Amino acid sequence: MREAGAMTEFDHSAGSLCLDFVATVRDWPERRIELLGTPAELTGWFEAEGLPAAAGGLTEQDLLDARALRAAVNDTTRSLIAGAPPATEDIRLINTIGRHPTPVFLLGPGGRTRAAVAEPDAAAALSVIARDAINLLAGPDLGRIRACDSDGCATLFYDRSPSGRRRWCSMRRCGEKAAAANYRRRVATRSRP
Ligand SMILES: [Zn+2]
C-alpha cells in the first residue's frame, strides 16, 4: 500500500498511475474539484506516488505541463473506451512527454532504501505517467478501463478485480454511497403497505 501525502486527500484507487493522475481533478455536475491547484500540491502528489520531484521545487510551468498531460490522458482514454478516435494532438503530447528520460533509482545498501541517481526534473516524473498511459491504453485490457457507475461521478478506473465487475471509482467515495442508497431503497420498498 502506498501512503497518501499528509496534507492531501489523494487516493490511489484508480488501479493505474495515469488514471490516479487523471483523478486529481473531479468534474462533478455540481462542482469541480482541482487537487493540483499549486506547484506544491503537484510536488505532494509526486511524493505520494513515489515519484521524485525536483529538489528546487516545481514551477507554474511544470504545473501547466502536468495539467496538459492529465487532460490529454483523460480525453484519449474516454475516446478509446467510447470507441471514438482520440485527438491527434493528445496522442502527440503523451508521446512527447513519454520520450523524456525517466528517473533512475538504485537500491541502497541493505536493499530497503532507494535513491535517485541524478537530480530529476518534473519532466522525468511526467514521463513515467505518460509511459504508464501508453502501456495501459495500447495494452490488452481496454475493456477493463471504465467510468464510475455512480450518478454524476464518471471518474475513470482500471478494473484489476478478479471478476472484472468493479463498478465504482472507489468504495470509500462512491461504492459505500451506492450501497447505502440501495439499502434505503430496499427498506422503503419493504415498509410500503
Ligand atoms: Zn465514483
Domain count, the chain: 1
Measure 156 CA to ligand 1 centroid, in angstroms: 8
Output phi, psi for 126, to 5 deg.
-65, -30
- Output the domain CATH number for residue 185: 1.10.3300.10
Decide: residue 155, CB within 10 A, 0-12 exposed, 13-18 middle, 19+ buried.
buried
133 belongs to a structural domain: yes
Q: Residue 192: its pLDDT value, please?
A: 66
143 belongs to a structural domain: yes
Q: What is the pLDDT along the chain (193 residues), one digit of tens a residue?
A: 333 333 346 778 899 999 999 999 987 777 888 999 999 999 999 999 989 877 788 999 999 999 999 999 999 999 999 999 999 999 999 999 999 998 888 898 899 998 877 777 899 999 999 999 999 999 999 999 999 988 888 899 999 999 999 999 888 878 887 778 777 888 887 776 5
Measure 155 CA to ligand 1 centroid, in angstroms: 5
Measure 138 CA to ligand 1 centroid, in angstroms: 24
| Structural domain boundaries, residue 68 | 17-191
Distance between CA atoms of 159 and 182, rounded to whole angstroms?
22
28 belongs to a structural domain: yes
Measure 106 CA to ligand 1 centroid, in angstroms: 37
- How far, in Å, are 46, 91, 186 from residue 87 at the CA level? 27, 7, 44
6 belongs to a structural domain: no
3 belongs to a structural domain: no
Measure 131 CA to ligand 1 centroid, in angstroms: 25
Measure 54 CA to ligand 1 centroid, in angstroms: 32
